[in-house]
Chain A
Amino acid sequence: TQLLEQSPQFLSIQEGENLTVYCNSSSVFSSLQWYRQEPGEGPVLLVTVVTGGEVKKLKRLTFQFGDARKDSSLHITAAQPGDTGLYLCAGVTGTASKLTFGTGTRLQVTL
């Protein structure tokens, strides 16, 4: 079974702070996705990274895929209360594009 470990599990910070979430695996994935999930809802895709070393930016969020395509990071600059939620990384494998999810990082941003 492929495992994706995320760290930290929980993060409570104040508005304006920066943070980084890590997603690590011993397996290689064809691509890696980051999702955000709000309470009572399904995950919503934020980004897909495909190429080793790739960096993608989405406003204040920066996503990086490791050179060996085994790990990824999510960096949030100047966090806002609206960033609060559960962040999930997911590795994509196989012809059916199955997702292997990480354990999740629960982020809380307070005023």
Chain B
Amino acid sequence: NAGVTQTPKFRVLKTGQSMTLLCAQDMNHEYMYWYRQDPGMGLRLIHYSVGEGTTAKGEVPDGYNVSRLKKQNFLLGLESAAPSQTSVYFCASRKGGFGSSYFGPGTRLTVT
């Protein structure tokens, strides 16, 4: 039981490049989330999904797209990376209701 895993762990992009971050969970959770963490700002919600095939915008969705084709996977895409997207990205999953949110180890992205 690996919990929540994220790939890659680190990535450096040049401005304008694209990439996809993969989040996988093996706990059969319905809800999945993508957050970004910046110094002094805590974690902010980018996009989330309440089930396979559904996605919704969070607090800071601009410049990102997501897909949830399979229940266990939640992909975060950057179509044209910008330096403002330099951050640590965390994926989380939750069974629902008052359940605990389980976080992955994070992906550190630098955009130059």
Contacts and interface: CB of A to CB of B under 8 A. Distances in A.
Nearest to B100: A45
Interface string A62-98: 0000000000000000000000000010101001111
Given A45-B100, A50-B98, A98 B42 contact: no
A31 B104 CA distance: 22
Interface string B77-112: 000000000000010101011111111111000000
Interface in A41-65: 41-45, 48, 50
Interface residues of B, number: 29
A105 to B, nearest CB: 10
Given A40-B106, A41-B105, A42-B92, A101 B100 contact: no
Interface residues of A, number: 26
Interface of B: 4, 31, 33, 35, 40-45, 48, 50, 56, 58-59, 90, 92, 94, 96-106
19 contacts: A1-B59, A33-B101, A40-B105, A40-B106, A41-B105, A42-B4, A42-B92, A45-B101, A88-B43, A95-B50, A96-B50, A97-B94, A97-B96, A98-B58, A99-B43, A99-B92, A99-B101, A100-B45, A103-B41
Please provide the 3 A-B residue pairs with the shortest distance between their CB atoms, ordered closest to farther. Answer: A42-B103, A101-B42, A101-B43
